[in-house]
């Protein structure tokens, strides 16, 4: 293994151990939240809503809840880890090391994406307790899982670098991320929207994620999954590039 690989591995190891060793903060909350979501939206309300495009309501909302859990955790992991490191200045341990800028970005993004991916998997596991999942296109499911968690881990890196207070992290999570998810077709079908609302929804990246994961799990999608993959991949490349530029400039880290 090369020196650079060992450097990257060390950063990923540190980042993964940080969330693995705190399951009450990282794994348990999304599990409980999703049991509640499935119980209320799936079982109690879902029985009154009936089916959407031939799938039960609980099956319909499941992909959206997987996306919600996965991206929230990917974003939160990267943003918190970086911001907390800045706040307490121990991010200097990384910055003063010979890790390249690109490997530093890779370390934070990959570890955070992994957390999002694991949480997404756990939510699918919870979903199994409430309904059946056909996994119509597993490769698409994995692809969308990887790309969405990577994208939001990258956004989390930006959030962690630009935040100046813990409040800013809350603002990003609650006032930006959550509305995008709720208006991203998690709980309703885009077909129910009129022309303007439908068009506006297409500007929301969440719509592509939710539909892509829904296609992978249920085989149904309101948007061509390949189009979604292209849009999300392009967005991810842009975000990772921004990450790299920020680290190169030492934004939020160096004076």
Partner 1 sequence: MPPAIETVDLVKEYGELRALQELSLTVEEGEFFGLLGPNGAGKTTFINTLVGLVRKTGGEARVFGYDVEDDYQQARDAIGVAPQEFNVDRFFPIREVLEHKAGYHGVPADEAAERADEVLKRVGIYDKRNERFDWLSGGMKRRLLLARALVTDPDLLILDEPTAGVDVQLRHDLWELVTELNEEGTTILLTTHYIEEAERLCDRVAIMNEGRKVTVATPDELKGRGTDTIAVGLESTPASAPELGPYAHETTLSGDRLEVRVDDGGSIAPRLLNDLEARGYEIADLEISRTSLEEIFVDLTEREDRSVTRSTAESASDGDESETSETDTPPKREQEGVA
Contact positions vs partner 1 (CB under 8 A):
1, 3-4, 6-7, 9-11, 13-14, 17-18, 21, 85, 88-90, 92-100, 250, 253-255
Please state the length of the chain.
255
Residue the block writes with tokens 């004076």? 255
Which residues pair with residue 55 across a beta bridge?
52
CB of 87 to partner 1, least distance (A): 10
- Cβ-based nearer residue to partner 1, 183 or 251: 251
CB of 250 to partner 1, least distance (A): 6
- Cβ-based nearer residue to partner 1, 86 or 137: 86
CB of 10 to partner 1, least distance (A): 3
CB of 89 to partner 1, least distance (A): 4
- Cβ-based nearer residue to partner 1, 4 or 142: 4
- Cβ-based nearer residue to partner 1, 178 or 248: 248
- Cβ-based nearer residue to partner 1, 104 or 150: 104
CB of 70 to partner 1, least distance (A): 23
For residues 236 and 150, the answer to whether their CB atoms sit within 8 Å is yes
For residues 187 and 65, the answer to whether their CB atoms sit within 8 Å is no
- Cβ-based nearer residue to partner 1, 1 or 129: 1
Residue 178 CB contacts under 8 Å (≥ 6 apart), including other chains: none
User: What phi and psi values does residue 55 have, to the nearest 5 degrees?
Assistant: -120, 155
CB of 154 to partner 1, least distance (A): 21
CB of 110 to partner 1, least distance (A): 15
- Cβ-based nearer residue to partner 1, 13 or 178: 13
């Amino acid at each position: 293994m090369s020196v650079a690989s060992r450097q990257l591995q060390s950063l990923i190891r540190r980042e993964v151990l940080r969330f693995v060793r705190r399951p009450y903060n990282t794994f348990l909350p999304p599990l409980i939240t999703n049991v509640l979501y499935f119980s209320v939206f799936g079982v109690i309300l879902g029985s009154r809503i009936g089916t959407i495009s031939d799938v039960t309501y609980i099956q319909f909302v499941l992909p959206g809840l997987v996306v919600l859990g996965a991206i929230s955790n990917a974003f939160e992991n990267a943003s918190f880890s970086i911001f907390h490191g800045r706040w307490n200045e121990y991010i200097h341990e990384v910055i003063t090391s010979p890790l390249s800028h690109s490997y530093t970005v890779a370390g934070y993004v990959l570890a955070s994406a992994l957390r999002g991916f694991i949480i997404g998997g756990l939510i699918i596991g919870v979903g199994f307790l409430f309904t059946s999942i056909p996994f119509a296109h597993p490769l698409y499911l994995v692809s969308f899982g990887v790309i969405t968690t990577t994208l939001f881990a990258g956004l989390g890196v930006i959030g962690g670098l630009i935040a100046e207070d813990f409040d800013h992290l809350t603002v990003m999570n609650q006032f930006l991320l959550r509305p995008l998810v709720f208006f991203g077709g998690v709980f309703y079908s885009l077909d129910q929207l009129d022309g303007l609302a439908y068009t506006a929804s297409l500007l929301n990246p969440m719509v592509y994620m939710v539909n892509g994961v829904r296609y992978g799990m249920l085989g149904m999608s309101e948007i061509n999954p390949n189009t979604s993959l292209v849009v999300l991949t392009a967005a991810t490349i842009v975000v990772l590039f921004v990450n790299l530029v920020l680290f190169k400039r030492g934004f939020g880290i160096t004076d």
